[in-house]
Amino acid sequence: MAPKGRKPLISGNWKMNHNHFEAIQMVQKLSYHLSKDDYGAVDVSVHPPFTDIRSVQTVLESDRIPIALGAQHCHWEEKGAFTGEVSPAMLAKLNVSYVIAGHSERRTLFGETDEMVNAKVRAILANGMTPILCVGESLEEREAGTTEERVRSQVIAGLAKVSAEQVAGLVIAYEPIWAIGTGRNASASDAQAVCAAIRGTVTASFGAAAGEGLRVQYGGSVKPSNIVELMAEEDIDGALVGGASLDADEFARLVQYRLA
Ligand code: PGA
C-alpha cells in the first residue's frame, strides 16, 4: 500500500496499437519482468484494442498473471442496433475489470459529451466493472486559468447519479490534453494541485469516504524519468500511460517506480 492508504493503479492505454499476436507477446514479456512484490505494491491494468481482448484474457488466465484486463471504451446500452459498438456486458463476460470512459481523444475526435460519458460510467458500474473516468483541460483553458473549473465540471457531470459507495471504488484520471502524447508532462506540483481539486470536488459532493477511497491517476507523457516525482504527490494514486505502455520493458519500469 502507498503511504496514503490507497493502492496505486498503473494502467497502460495501448490506444490503436498492437494486433492480437503482438498483444500476447506484450503481456507475456511484461509478466517476466514483474514479481509478486510488484503486484503486491501496485495494481496493474492493460487496455488493449477490442480485437485483442479475448487473446489477452486467455494468456492472463492460463498463465495466472495478476494483471487486470481493461478496455478503452464501450457503449452504454446492453445491446441493439449500434453498428460498430461494443456493450459493457460483452466486456464483463471477458472478465474485463477496468474501462476507460471519456478519454480526451474520444471526446475531441469522436464527439463524446459529458452526458455520454456519464451514461458509460453508469453502465460500466452496472456491469460490475470499474470506470476510469478521464478529465482534463486544453492548453487554452490552462492559459486562461480555468483548469480547475473545467475539471470540476467534468467530474460533476461524469458522476451524475452515481452513488457515494460507487464513487469510493472508482478511478478518475487527470489528463491535461496538452500533455498527452506530446512529451510535455505537467509538473508534479501542478498535477498534484489539480488531483487535489478533483478529490476535493468528490469529497464535497459525495462525502469523506468517497474522497478518501477514490483513486486519482495522472496521465500525459508519463515516463520512467518523471513517474517517481509524480507518485510522491499526496493525491496522485497512479498513472494512465499511453506511449510508454507500448514497450514491455518501459512499462515494467513504470510499474516498478518504487525501486528506482
Ligand atoms: P501518453 O498518453 O502517455 O502517450 O501521453 C496518455 C493517455 O492518453 O492516456
DSSP assignments along 104-120, one per residue: HHHHHHS---HHHHHHH
Task: Specify the pLDDT at position 3.
Answer: 55
Per-residue confidence (pLDDT) for residue 5, from 0 to 100: 86
Q: Could you read off the pLDDT of 139-183 as tens digits, one per residue?
A: 999 999 999 999 999 999 999 999 999 999 999 999 999 999 998
2 falls in which pLDDT band (50, 70, 90)? Answer: very low
CA angle 38, 40, 43 (to 5 degrees): 80
> In angstroms, rounded to a whole number, what is the distance separating the alpha carbons of residues 138 and 236?
20
What spacing in Å lies between the alpha carbon of 110 and ligand 1's midpoint? 17
Angle, helices 50-62/20-33, rounded to nearest 10 degrees: 40
Do residues 219 and 231 touch, judged by C-beta distance below 8 A? no
The residue nearest atom 1 of ligand 1, judged by CA position, is: 242
Q: How far, in Å, from the CA of 166 to the mean position of ligand 1?
A: 26
Average pLDDT of span 12-30: 98
Cell of 205: 459532493
Name the pLDDT band for 185 (thresholds 50, 70, 90).
Answer: confident
Going by alpha carbons, the residue nearest to atom 6 of ligand 1 is: 242
Atom nearest to 220 CA in ligand 1? 5
Q: How far does the centroid of ligand 1 lie from the alpha carbon of residue 207, in Å?
A: 30
192: Cβ contacts below 8 Å, ≥ 6 apart: 233, 234, 235, 236
